[in-house]
Amino acid sequence: MTKTTVYFVRHGQTYFNRYNRMQGWADSPLTEQGILDANKVGQRLAQIKFDQAYCSDTGRARSTARLILKANAVSSLNEPIETPLFREEFYGYFEGMNSPEAWYLTGAGHDSKTYAEIISNYSIDASKDFMKQADPFHDAENSTEYWNRLLLGFDMLRRDNPAGAKILLVSHGTTMRSIVGKFGQEHFDLTKSPRNGSVTKLLLEGSEVHVEYYNRIDEGPLE
């Protein structure tokens, strides 16, 4: 079966990234470094002929995708298709909060004081469930709500693109880590956050998702 390739890029650095604040559905613009991140990954992907490009419906993902497409030497795409299906996890009450504090409040009742401890002691899906429990409004997405949305995004990619297509997808760090955690067969170190401007390569084959590599930010062209 012909595989569809998804070049999954984390957006460039934002001000909330710089200040280490929770940024799910909240949005902040790219910093100067973030623009540089986007331009660099655009150069590494410049020789890949994308059949379609997508991004989450956030300004940071949109700006990154546009800069990548602008740098591309072989594609005719100018604008990405925006979709809420690949939006970052919703952190509810914790949106915009200092990240270490938010994860301490989320994990302390489970003997885990950091995000890395939560996912090491439990799982990435458990971190979502714990955050919804800790949210006084219970607005944060739990793992079921999150995957109901994300899996619709993969259905969209399969439905709207022919087998064998090459797709650019600009999304978010926890989303990248969640997808690799679900489909990566425990081959990757998920205690390390994917870096801004990094690339994770996914292969869609029928209903399956395979992870070829994760969190690549090396210099030179990517395949």
Q: Give the span between the Cα atoms of 17 and 27, in whole angstroms.
A: 10
What count of Cα atoms within 13 Å lies in the side-chain half-sphere of residue 25? 13
Q: Does 88 participate in catalysis according to the annotation? A: yes
Annotated binding residues: 10-17, 60, 88-91
Q: Kind and range of the H or E element at 131? A: helix 124-134
In the sheet that holds 4-10, the strands lie side by side as 81-83, 52-56, 166-171, 4-10, 199-205, 208-216
The CB density around residue 56, as the number of other CB atoms within 10 Å, is 27
Q: Does 79 participate in catalysis according to the annotation? A: no
Q: Give the span between the Cα atoms of 89 and 141, in whole angstroms.
A: 7
Q: Give the span between the Cα atoms of 73 and 47, in whole angstroms.
A: 6
Annotated binding residues for substrate: 10-17, 60, 88-91
Question: Of 32, 79, 82, 88, which one is the catalytic site residue?
Answer: 88
Name 30's bridge partners. Answer: 14
Contacts of 205 by beta carbon, 8 Å cutoff, 6+ apart: 1, 3, 4
Q: Minimal CA–CA distance to 167: which of 47, 42, 51?
A: 51
Query: What single-letter DSSP state applies at residue 138?
Result: -
Question: Of 11, 95, 141, 172, which one is the catalytic site residue?
Answer: 11
What 3-state DSSP class applies to 115? helix
Q: Give me the active site residues, please.
A: 11, 88
